[in-house]
Chain A
Amino acid sequence: MAAGPAARSVIGMTDEVIRTAGLSKRFGRRTAVDNVDLSVPPGCAFGLLGVNGAGKTTLIRMLLGLTPATSGQMWLLGLPVPAQRAEALSRVGAIVEEPGFHPHLSGRDNLRAAAGFRGRAATGRIDAVLERVGLADRADDRVGGYSLGMRQRLGIARCLLNDPALLILDEPANGLDPAGMRDMRALIRSFVAEGRTVVLSSHLLDEVEKTCDVAAIVDRGRILAQGPVRELTGGATLEERFLELTSQPHHA
């Protein structure tokens, strides 16, 4: 499926697809995201790397309007959110945590239901996106009988319904076997090749290193480092760099 008008970024090539400034989220006395300044350039695969509970998902949830930020500013595709969230999200596809579906419906009907909320053109893309993620032959089976890998792929298909410029995938490799992870990696790289930006969160160092062009290391709600993966590692492995950064104590 060729990247349509929505995939051609609405922002200039020098602008960021995602930008946050001083973004924080507190749950009572616990700070889940702490004063984060994040910058995601367009047309790349961007990895948010951190252990479980580091704050990656909370950061994503704030960007997508699933939970309000406690403080700070955010821009999605150059648009300020929450002020222009609806416009921004019309060009975003996202999976947060495990993709949810109605198990009693087929994969195709789940996409039909999802397309109802994504504009008229989305319905016309259902067959193409099913084909794209390799689920065309199982599209009429009930989702209740899908494996986790198939549900992840159906989740990606749902993300593609609005021909997004930006895909945000929260732990897309979770629960996948090695072949599934390889397929997911290839799919993500193909989106980048089309000019889309993919932001993925992961706790799998190897996966981020193999998939992403740019990464940010997240720990205890903070971004410890961000930049092109090659520069970030500085000749070492990403694992070595990650352990070096996350073993240092944080200062307020």
Chain B
Amino acid sequence: MDTYRMIGAELLKLRRRSLVAWTGVLTLGASVAFVVFNAIRHRADPTHYGPAGGATNLQHAALVLRYLGTVAAVLVGTTAGGQDRASGMFRDLVTTGTSRRTLFLVRLPAALAFYLVWFLPAYTIAAVASIGLAGPLPAPHWRLLVQFGLGVGVSTTVDVVLAVGMAATLGSRSVATGILLGWELAFSRLLEHVNSFGSLRQLLTTSAVDRIFPALGEPRVVPMTALTAGLVLTGWAVLIITTGTWRTATRDA
């Protein structure tokens, strides 16, 4: 069976009006709004508000994209991972004889492709604005542009993978969305600050993502090496892909 055709079919299924709209608003829309807002503010009152470009604004744009991108990534991932079961299509797919493992795995590249189509131009706008609208400020070095891009890109694409796997594991898109958003945006952040957990906090995806972001002189809440951060993110991704595959293979269709 042609894997690309299956991925194409999964992409087609993601073409929900609401999903397209929310993903667009939370990524591209957020990036454009951030740049436009800062540019207007600077133009209206340049003495109080600096130029819309520069390294600091790039960092802020990356943070906006990281948090809103997480929401978009979770929405995309849980839709890809859970919509077949919710619509009753999973039964039909199983009766085609395609292995259930394949049915799960083809959702991952489809969800990632759908998300990246929105994320990449969103970050490009932030990056271009940080140079083009820097004014008298020094434009960010290309290495910083890549580091922030990788930071936001890796953190949110890991969220896509976690969401696909979580929705397939739980068999419910809405429950997976609630759990992941609660974990990524609130609970995990609280645990990061519980010092008594010590180095166990390195296992949190949010701590690992913080490590791969350029710090720009700010101290990190949970110190760890870049290698550890990479291993933590990879470990979570592998774990959730394994459980998603297992659950897809074993559940009654």
Instruction: List A residues at the B interface (Cβ < 8 Å).
Output: 61, 64-67, 85-90, 92, 94-105, 109, 112-120, 123, 158, 162
Contact = CB atoms under 8 A, between A and B. Distances in A.
A162 B252 contact: no
Given A100-B87, A113-B13, A119 B1 contact: yes
B92 A105 contact: no
11 contacts: A61-B253, A88-B97, A96-B95, A97-B91, A99-B92, A100-B88, A100-B90, A102-B87, A103-B87, A105-B12, A115-B9
Interface of B: 1-2, 5-6, 8-10, 12-13, 15-17, 83, 87-99, 103, 252-253
A116 B94 contact: no
A10 to B, nearest CB: 14
Q: Looking at A64, A89, A117, which has the most chain B CB atoms within 10 Å of its CB?
A: A117
A87 B16 CA distance: 33
A162 B96 CA distance: 9
Contacts of A94: 92, 95
What is the predominant secondary structure among interface residues of chain A facing chain B? loop
A119 B1 CA distance: 6
A250 B87 CA distance: 38
Contacts of B15: 104-105, 109
A65 B95 contact: yes
Contact of B95 (A89, A103, A105): A89
A66 B97 CA distance: 10
Contacts of A120: 2, 5
Given A88-B97, A101-B87, A103-B87, A113 B9 contact: yes
A114 B91 contact: no
Nearest first, the 3 closest Cβ-Cβ pairs linking A and B are A100-B88, A116-B9, A89-B97
Contact of B94 (A66, A103, A115, A158): A66
Given A89-B97, A117-B1, A102 B9 contact: no
B93 A117 contact: yes
Contacts of B96: 89-90, 114, 117-118, 162
A70 to B, nearest CB: 13
A242 to B, nearest CB: 28
A198 B9 CA distance: 28
A115 B88 CA distance: 16
A101 B89 contact: yes
B231 to A, nearest CB: 35
Contacts of A98: 88
Contacts of B12: 105, 109, 112-113, 116
Contact of A105 (B1, B2, B13): B13
B89 A100 contact: yes
A106 to B, nearest CB: 10
A86 B99 contact: yes
B95 A92 contact: yes
B9 A114 contact: yes
B252 A66 contact: yes
Contact of A90 (B8, B16, B97): B97
A65 B253 CA distance: 8
A143 to B, nearest CB: 10
A117 B6 CA distance: 6
B75 to A, nearest CB: 14
Contacts of A85: 97
